[in-house]
Structure formats: C-alpha cells, structure tokens
Amino acid sequence: MNHANFLETEDIHVLMKKYSVPCIISLLVASLYNIVDQIFIANADYLGSFGNAANTVVYPLTIVALSIAVMIGDGACAFVSISLGADRKENAGKSVGNAISLTLIVSLFITLLYLLFASPIVTAFGGKVNEETFLLSKEYFFWITMGIPFYMFGQAMNPIIRSDGSPKLAMRFTLAGCFANLILDPIFIYPLHMGMKGAAIATIIGQIVTAVFSGIYVSKMRMVKLNKDSFFLDFSIIKQSLHLGMTSFLSQISIVASMMAIQNMIMKYGALDPVFGLEEYAQIPMAVLGIVMKFFQIVISISVGLAAGCIPVVGYNIGAGRKDRAKDLFTLLLKFEALTGLVALIIVEVFPSALISIFGAANESAYYTMFAVKCFRTYLCMMIFATINKGTFIYLQSLGKALSSTILSLIREIVLGVFLPILLPLFFGLDGVLYSMPVADFITFMLSVIIIAKTYRELSAISIPIPAAD
C-alpha cells in the first residue's frame, strides 16, 4: 500500500484541517514580516507616516520575490503530489531538486537586479511622493534586498515540505523566523534607533532562521528521495511544475502590478487634493493605502492558505482517480472561503478606526484617520467575492487546470487590477482609486460562478482520467 494512501481514505474535513490550517498560519506569518515592520515603524515618532509610506513603496517589491518563490514551490508541491498519487516517485524527487536549484539561481538574479536599479525601481512605485519618503524608501529597499535569497528559499520550500506530509513543520519553520523578527524589530527601531535599516535587518534575520530550518528538513525528506541528479535542471519537469504554479505566481504578482498602478494614481490624484496636495500631508494616502493592503493581504493569506492546503490532497486524489473526493473538497473549500470573506467584511465595516489605531494613528493628523476609515470601508467592501475568487483560482490549479486558472487570474489581477485604478480616477478622482478593488472583485466573481459550475460538472462525470495540464 502506498505510504501516502491516507490522502485517499481519510475524511476530507480532517485532511483540510491537517493541511490548510498549517498552510494558513505559514502564509499569515510570511505576510506578517512586512506588517510587523510597518506597525513598529508607524509607532516610532521619528519615522511615523513617512516611514509608513516608505514601507508601502517597498512592499510590492518584496512580493515580486515571493510570487516567484511560491510559483516554484506550489508548482513543485502540486507536481510532487500528483506524482506520488500515480506512484512516480522518481519524478517527485527531480521536481524538488529542480525547485531548489531554480530558487537559488533566480533569487540571486533578483538581488543583483534590485541593487543595480534601486532608484528607478523605488521611483516607479511612487517613492517620490516627497523627499523624506524617497530617502527612507531607498534605505529600507537596500537592506530588504540583501535578504531576498533567504526569503525566497524559505517560501519556496514551505509548500514542498507540506507535500512531503509535514505541514506542521512547515508552519513551525516560518513561525520561528517571524518570532525572531518580532523580537528584534522593537529593539532595533526604538532603543537602538536604527530606523528603516533596523526594521529590515530584523526581517532578514528572521528569513535566515526559516531558510536554515527548511534546508535541514529538505536534506532528509520522508516521502521524496533526493540524489545528486535531482538538482540538475530538467526543463521538462521545470516546465510542468511552473505551469502548475502559475496561478500562485499570478495571485501574488498581481498585487505588484495593481499596487504599481494604484500607488502612482494615489500620488497623481493626491497631489490634486486640497489637503493631500500639501507637502506635509502628501505621504498620507500612500501610507494609508499600505495599511489597508496589509489587512487585505492577511485575509487573502487565509483564503490562499485554505485553497493551497488542499493542493496535495486534490492532486493525490486526482492522480488516484478519485474525482468524487475532489468535488466534496471543492464544496467545503467554497464554504470556508465565503465565511472568511464575511468575517473580514464585518471587521472593516464596523471596526476601521480600531484597525488604523494599530498603525500609529494617534501620532497623526485627523486627515490620516478620516482617509483611512473611508479607504477601509470602500476599498474592501467586496471581500466575500475576493476570497471566493482566490479559492477558485488555486483549486483549479490543483486539478491540473492551469490554463483556466491562469486566464481567470489574468483577468482579475492584471486586466482589471491595473486598468480600473487608471480608468476610474478619471471620473471620480482620488475616490476612483478606492472603487477599483470592489468593482474588479465583482466582475471577476461573475466569471468565477461560470467556472465553478463547469468544474462541478466535470468532477461529477463517471470517467476518471488523470488530468493533463490544459
């Protein structure tokens, strides 16, 4: 009997809890690296909203690295799970070894690129909203860049460790790094007065901790065996794995494309506002946007974690020909995605002032709080649709339907996510930027409903072939 047979026989509720909960926690912890930095930065009186805005400028640039890491890691995770389900263990080992090699190569390339083009990159993401924000952005960006190889390795290995049947260990490795960051951040920022540099170095140390633990585990995996040949790049396996991880890539990189458009529109239309057009308040919309996006990232981490945790279970059952279990898991996933969105919606609509107070609102002007409340309530008013959309995208990926998943993601994240923030401000000014997110989520949900219905019909069919990527 296959040693991973429990993925085919265990109750799906139990499996979802076993795999999704650790995945959610791992993703939440990963997103908390930047959020923790922003909280401590915002509450340091010598940094305040200027440091907050600088953190917002750099944030999407860290997501570029994360998006590539999760594409490699989630793709390998899906490929490994399908290979194990079909009893093709050698392919599973090659996929993991190739994922490690590819992550190291790409991470070093991104680090070099960021170091060479720091100023134009920071400028492209709205760093020149005012001089103080620009200087702080460049300082934070330089140090964060130095940790990218460790960050990418830890994030890419996390789903691979889950696919090896150790979701709790994957979670603990990420938690260890986050705790290190959480302890060091206030020390470096407050008594040592290291500012943005201190926040970044604390983050890097946490990333190193996660990377080291992950590396030790991968060197002695349980269900996947590695040898020297596993690390030589096999472009056939890389192509298949990256194809399966494309949706994870798009779900993250979309934040970059969207935030680049949004941050530039915030800078452009904020300068036309009678309040935010003043030099002393120019950074407020950028700082507030970053805070709202951080909350959104927390919610989406739960949404993505719910779905990504299902990848090994769905992949194995599809590989073993059990579409009935894949269908039941899809139903369970959609219910939890909707519940996640509902809870998030209640929080942003009822408690926006409490949320903004965590990020140093007491030290800022009334304009800061007023804009933040409006931003929370408007920008995130379609959270239920947003979480269902994310869950659907990733679940399609786990079924091997990379093409359908990619098309949906492209429409939501690139077409609507970039086009609407540019179009709507032409009619509604600064408010148009805030309308872009809910409008995009509503339109995408209408498309997702069609794909969900089609997926249910396919999973209800009698024939049970092992899927080829579309």
Residue 102 lies inside a defined structural domain of this protein: yes
pLDDT digits (tens, 9 = 90+) for 71-91: 999 888 878 877 776 667 667
Q: How far is CA 166 from CA 20, 160, 172, in A?
A: 12, 9, 10
Residue 8 lies inside a defined structural domain of this protein: no
- Name the helix (H) or strand (E) containing 209: helix 195-218
Strands (E), 181-300: none
For residue 414, the tally of other CB atoms under 10 A from its CB is 15
Residue 452: phi and psi, rounded to 5, are: -60, -45
Look up residue 264 and give its amino acid. N
Residue 5 lies inside a defined structural domain of this protein: no
Residue 160 banded pLDDT, cuts 50, 70, 90: confident
* pLDDT at position 388: 95
What radius of gyration, in Å, describes the C-alpha atoms of the chain?
Answer: 22
Split into its structural domains, the chain has a count of: 1
Residue 160 lies inside a defined structural domain of this protein: yes
Average pLDDT over residues 191-211: 93
Over 231-298, what HEC string results?
HCCCHHHHHHHHHHHHHHHHHHHHHHHHHHHHHHHHHHHHCCCCCCCCHHHCCHHHHHHHHHHHHHHH
Average pLDDT over residues 200-222: 91
**Share above pLDDT 90 across residues of the chain, in percent, rounded to a whole number:** 34
Residue 217 lies inside a defined structural domain of this protein: yes
Residue 465 banded pLDDT, cuts 50, 70, 90: very low
C-alpha–C-alpha distance, residues 150 and 174, integer Å = 12
Mean of the per-residue pLDDT values of the chain? 85
Residue 4 banded pLDDT, cuts 50, 70, 90: low
Residue 264 lies inside a defined structural domain of this protein: yes
Q: And the tokens for 240?
A: 């298949």
Over 131-166, what HEC string results?
HHHHHHHHHHHHHHHHCHHHHHHHHHHHHHHHHCCC
User: How many Cα atoms sit within 13 Å of 40 on the Cβ side?
Assistant: 26
C-alpha–C-alpha distance, residues 454 and 469, integer Å = 17
* pLDDT at position 470: 46
Residue 406 has pLDDT above 80, yes or no: no
Residue 7 lies inside a defined structural domain of this protein: no
Residue 2 lies inside a defined structural domain of this protein: no
Domain span at residue 105 reads: 13-459
Residue 251 banded pLDDT, cuts 50, 70, 90: low
* pLDDT at position 244: 80
For residue 9, the tally of other CB atoms under 10 A from its CB is 10
pLDDT digits (tens, 9 = 90+) for 100-138: 999 999 999 999 999 999 999 999 888 887 888 899 999
Look up residue 51 and give its amino acid. G
**Who wins on pLDDT, 445 or 86?**
445
| Residue 468 DSSP one-character state | P
* pLDDT at position 467: 46
